[in-house]
Chains A and B, each alone.
Chain A
Amino acid sequence: DVQMTQSPSYLAASPGESVSISCKASKSISNNLAWYQEKPGKANKLLIHSGSTLQSGTPSRFSGSGSGTDFTLTIRSLEFEDFAVYYCQQYNEYPPTFGSGTKLEIK
């Protein structure tokens, strides 16, 4: 299985700041990577697929980059609603596998 290593596990930031989350695959996955947001009491939300394509409804302050084995989710000008847990997921080969998650907390 493709191992997805996500870092950091925890991240504290203030509204208005920008943050980046890293996701590294154990082998090349082309650009077959998605990012999700998890918030208590809400269904998980797809933010980005294909490495950098924003899902409809995802605010433009979110961006994804990378290909091969190294990927980054960047959130510019954090808003209160962005404080959540973020996961990456590869779908280049079976089984689809997820990163361990990054909890973004308010500083």
Chain B
Amino acid sequence: EVQLQQSGPELRRPGSSVKLSCKASGYSITDYLMHWVKHRPEHGLEWIGWIDPEDGETKYAQKFQSKATLTADTSSNTAYMQLSSLTSEDTATYFCARDGLLQWFDYWGQGVMVTVSS
């Protein structure tokens, strides 16, 4: 059974960074792209980018180019997203999601809430 298990909620100060994890089970992460999606209730769902864990290739939405860094550790079958220079605008729930073939998402993590507050 494919599962994506994300790390727990995070509370960070403005200006700091956070690294979120997404551990895959039931398949090898090198076989599929991994996407990350941001969700704020008033802004909806926003695609951040993807990583190809096989070779580390990444692609980001323009607005997240300098905000997010996607990495993967094939030995632990885990994908990561680091968010830097946090502001209140980064307060959101972040999801990892497996690529289904053509940039739809066939499996999602449960989401992790990141709160940025002083």
Give the distance to chain B from A71, nearest Cβ to Cβ, in Å. Answer: 13
- Beyond A44-B97, A87-B45, A98-B44, whether A34 also contacts B108 by CB under 8 A is no
- Beyond A94-B59, A98-B45, A101-B44, whether A43 also contacts B108 by CB under 8 A is yes
Partner of B104, one of A34, A42, A43: A34
Give the distance to chain B from A95, nearest Cβ to Cβ, in Å. Answer: 4
Query: Which residue of chain A has its CB nearest to the CB of B62?
Result: A95
B103 x A96 contact (CB < 8 A):
yes
Indicate the member of B102, B103, B108 with the most A CB atoms within 10 Å: B103
0/1 per residue, A52-95, Cβ < 8 Å to B? 00010000000000000000000000000000000101010011
Indicate the member of B45, B95, B104, B109 with the most A CB atoms within 10 Å: B104
Chain B residues within 8 Å of A99, by CB: 44
Chain B residues within 8 Å of A98, by CB: 44-47
B108 x A95 contact (CB < 8 A):
no
Chain A residues within 8 Å of B46, by CB: 98
Q: B11 an interface residue at 8 Å Cβ cutoff? A: no
26 contacts between A and B (CB under 8 A): A32-B102, A34-B100, A36-B105, A41-B110, A43-B4, A43-B109, A43-B111, A44-B95, A46-B100, A46-B104, A46-B105, A46-B107, A49-B100, A49-B101, A49-B102, A55-B100, A55-B106, A87-B45, A89-B45, A89-B105, A95-B61, A96-B47, A97-B47, A98-B44, A98-B45, A99-B44
**Chain A residues in contact with chain B, CB under 8 A?**
32, 34, 36, 41-46, 49, 55, 87, 89, 91, 94-101
